[in-house]
Chain A
Amino acid sequence: QSVLTQPPSASGTPGQRVIISCSGSSSNIGSNTVNWYQQLPGTAPKLLIYNSYQRPSGVPDRFSGSRFDTSASLAIYGLQSEDEADYYCAAWDGSLNDWVFGGGTKVTVL
């Protein structure tokens, strides 16, 4: 059972928008920034969003992060086949003194 809660799956057709939620608590998302990681099949995770909404250099602006209260979201606009991957949210938990991750969301492009 992960500290951060994500839906196990999400899907959409090419060009659609997909939104992935990440629910936490006051000790993690409620008081710290959120990062999102993309893990393509058989590869290492890649930092996709940091500080809740910022994109590292090279990440397309189709990816957008937001955070409100104790939840965060990752939106993928203009879904593409290459976006098929697992997506994980992560945050520091000040009560647990632990970096906590979500259980991951598998995105499928129909």
Chain B
Amino acid sequence: QITLKESGPTVVKSAQTLTLTCTFSGFSLTTSGVGVAWIRQPPGKALEWLALIYWDDDKRYSPSLKTRLTITKGTSRNQVVLTMTNMGPVDTATYYCTHFVGGTNFDYWGQGTLVTVSS
């Protein structure tokens, strides 16, 4: 059974750096073809893909946010970390981590964590 859970601060101040951790179970990030992605959703708005890390450490980023994002495997083998620099009020959103497989599918999602950016 695949599960994922996001953790991190619920409030950050403008200009600060956000660090979120995704802790997962039920799969290995060393298995060929597997990845972990981050997707966010501002309140009442649509989903937005942020970043993706593959089993072989290949990384992909949203072009519009690339300069602010870093995705890495965590120190524990079942964790992925996302950092986003220079946070602003528009970055207030629920941040989800997802399991990625088959080259196209975000098939399992964490419950999400709401991050509010205060000015």
Contact = CB atoms under 8 A, between A and B. Distances in A.
Nearest to B62: A98
Given A32-B104, A50-B102, A96-B63, A45 B110 contact: no
Contacts of A45: 47, 96, 106, 109
Contacts of A102: 46
Interface in A26-46: 32-33, 35, 37, 43-46
Interface residues of B, number: 21
Interface string B90-119: 000000100000101111111110000000
23 contacts: A33-B104, A43-B111, A44-B111, A45-B106, A45-B109, A46-B109, A47-B106, A47-B107, A50-B105, A51-B104, A51-B105, A56-B107, A88-B46, A96-B63, A97-B60, A98-B49, A99-B37, A99-B49, A99-B62, A101-B46, A101-B49, A103-B46, A104-B47
Top 8 A-B residue pairs of the complex, sorted by shortest distance between their CB atoms: A99-B49, A44-B109, A101-B47, A47-B107, A50-B105, A103-B46, A104-B46, A44-B112
A37 B46 CA distance: 11
Given A44-B112, A98-B62, A98-B63, A50 B46 contact: no
Interface residues of A, number: 25
A90 interface: yes
A18 B39 CA distance: 27
Contacts of B57: none
B56 interface: no
Given A47-B107, A96-B63, A101 B102 contact: no
Nearest to B104: A33
A88 B106 CA distance: 12
B40 to A, nearest CB: 11
B66 to A, nearest CB: 10
Nearest to B111: A44
Interface in B35-76: 37, 46-49, 52, 60, 62-64
Contacts of B46: 2, 88, 101-104
B3 to A, nearest CB: 11
B50 to A, nearest CB: 9
